[in-house]
Structure 1
Amino acid sequence: MTTTTSRTDVVLPPLTRVYRSRASVELKEFFRQRESVVFTLLFPVILLGVFGAVLDYDIGAGVSFTQYFMAGIIAAGILGASLQNMAISIATERSDGTLKHLAGTPMPKSAYFIGKVVQVLAVTVLIIVVLLAVGGLAYGVPLPSGSDWVTFAWVAALGAAACTLLGIAVSSLARNGRSASAMVTPIALVLQFISGVFFQFSQVPTWMQTIASLFPLKWMAQGLRSVFLPDVLAAQEPAGSWELDRVALVLGLWCVAGLVLCVLTFRWQDR
């Protein structure tokens, strides 16, 4: 008797469908985790509410501190949605075996990163919309107008890209999600204090300003201040101007550096 073995080839779905599916999974997983949603999405809103109510004083040129704070808290929100969120979530997925499992499936590895990028983009846009709504309705912070929206868009996009890539790279330094949170959160808070988020950057000691200028958060906040503040307040910046060309250069360099670090350090499983 002759036995015939038929071989059935598995036909994978189109790449775009795989990307959409993975992005949907990432978004559902994020919004099902209450801790991540509260810390990433609501924490900046809470800070805006507290600082806007307590520190609503004039800093000059008819500008309130809340208007100044708006730029910083949006930059901090982008940092939380990208660097902190990526570092913690990827480290957790690596330690619980999720990454190892995904690496062994037919899914293209690029789909995993596309899903993460879509998640960061969606959460970042949501944070910005909520903060602008709260700031405008509750504290009368004027919205950007005209070409300021273009500046707002490229500063936020470059900053989110740089911080996302750094978050993916930093995730490889942590043993698990808890250690990633313990490692990244204090660093993020320190950067927020020295980068002109909670205070006017001109009030930060010079040596702290120098340290802050090495990281993307300071440049994100400075670029966004150019959107929310009148040009007369540019004189309070270290260089006496908004330095938008340097903002673009530094954030672009951090994107390149973050990508190189991702390629060199990313792991699909624990050591």
Structure 2
Amino acid sequence: MPGAGGPPPRLPSTLLLGLHRGVIELKTFTREWDAVVFSFALPIVTLALLGSLFSGSYPGSDVTAAQYLAPSMISAGVAATTFVNLGGGIATDRDDGTLRRLRAVPMPATAYFVGKIMQAAVVSAAEAALLLTVGMVLFGVRLPVDARHWLTLGWVFLLGATACAMLGIAVTGLIRSARSAAAVTQLPYLVSSFVSGIYVTPVGALPQPLLVLGSIFPLKWMAQGFRSALLPDTILGAEAVPRWEHGRIAVILTAWCIGGLLLCLTTFRWRGRRDR
């Protein structure tokens, strides 16, 4: 041990503390088996049911309606495990006193958010992999054909999951208690899913006002990016745009990441309203 006049012990970095917190968050999540099962099962069951309702291929392409639906459902699964689950998890931490206890220990506040986002990213990646596997097994969805498409799948996932996670943290400013978390997060999630064309095949069949409204939300652009990575260009005739617009997807998802961060800084509360 250093002497009384020696240098003070070096504290772990914020990133290291955040990664350690992320491991704790993952362990806590996996212990709640009912939450794990329903978090993973809902998008998978939805994909299996909706995919079985549609049949046939689109004109000029060999892509079936079920294959077209799969990338959209992957984006919905990512949004559910980030925006919905993250918002509910933070609301629970606030209600049960976890946030108060963490604020009392010498851990930077940023480390808590790093841990939460790490947990959401790992669960989202697992959700996306399961949905892709189900799509391959049941409906013949193909993996990306080359490195360029794999890269597209990667950066769309990274930006989309980050944007939805930031919004999941920000929405906790509207949540009064853990009991109301599901209602506060599910409504915007479902609305954005419908207007973004998640449950519609093809997306180009949506009325123009809904297409305009859906273009506001990151879910629309994440789904479009996933379709560009998993489907051939021959399906563009079914889209509402003449090309995949990768540049616009990147710009809008990045803007939502930055906007979500600003919302987090202005709306996040460490204490519940009844604690004031």
TM-score when normalising by structure 1:
0.91
Q: Which residue does 1:152 correspond to in 2? A: 153
Per-residue deviation at 1:107?
2.0
Per-residue deviation at 1:21?
2.5
CA distance in 2, matches of 1:247, 1:109: 31
Q: Is the 8 A contact 2:144 2:229 kept in 1?
A: yes
**Counterpart code for 1:80:** A
Q: Which residue does 1:174 correspond to in 2? A: 175
Distance 1:55 1:250, change over 3 A: same
Q: CA RMSD in A?
A: 1.9
Per-residue deviation at 1:64?
0.6
**Counterpart code for 2:81:** A
Q: Which residue does 1:234 correspond to in 2? A: 236
The worse-fitting range, judged by mean Cα deviation, of 162-171 and 124-133 is 124-133
Q: Which residue does 2:190 correspond to in 1? A: 189
Counterparts of 1:67-146 in structure 2 under 5 Å? 67-146=67-146
CA distance in 2, matches of 1:145, 1:10: 54
- Alignment deviations for residues 199-226 of structure 1 (CA, whole Å, 9 cap, x no partner): 1211111111111111100011111111
CA distance in 1, matches of 2:128, 2:110: 27
Per-residue deviation at 1:149?
0.5
- Alignment deviations for residues 216-252 of structure 1 (CA, whole Å, 9 cap, x no partner): 0001111111112221222333331111111111101
Give ranges in structure 2 of 5+ residues lacking alignment.
none
Per-residue deviation at 1:11?
5.1
Identical-residue share of aligned pairs (%): 40
Per-residue deviation at 1:17?
4.8
Give ranges in structure 1 of 5+ residues lacking alignment.
1-5
Q: Is the 8 A contact 1:235 1:241 kept in 2?
A: no
CA distance in 2, matches of 1:56, 1:103: 54
Distance 1:139 1:236, change over 3 A: closer
SS of equivalent residue, structure 1 residue 59: coil
Q: Which residue does 1:14 correspond to in 2? A: 12
Q: Is the 8 A contact 1:30 1:36 kept in 2?
A: yes
CA distance in 1, matches of 2:268, 2:156: 26
Per-residue deviation at 1:10?
9.0
Counterparts of 1:59-74 in structure 2 under 5 Å? 59-60=58-59, 61-74=61-74
Q: Is the 8 A contact 1:82 1:160 kept in 2?
A: yes
TM-score when normalising by structure 2:
0.90
- Alignment deviations for residues 20-66 of structure 1 (CA, whole Å, 9 cap, x no partner): 32111100111122343133222111112212222233233111111
The worse-fitting range, judged by mean Cα deviation, of 194-203 and 36-45 is 36-45
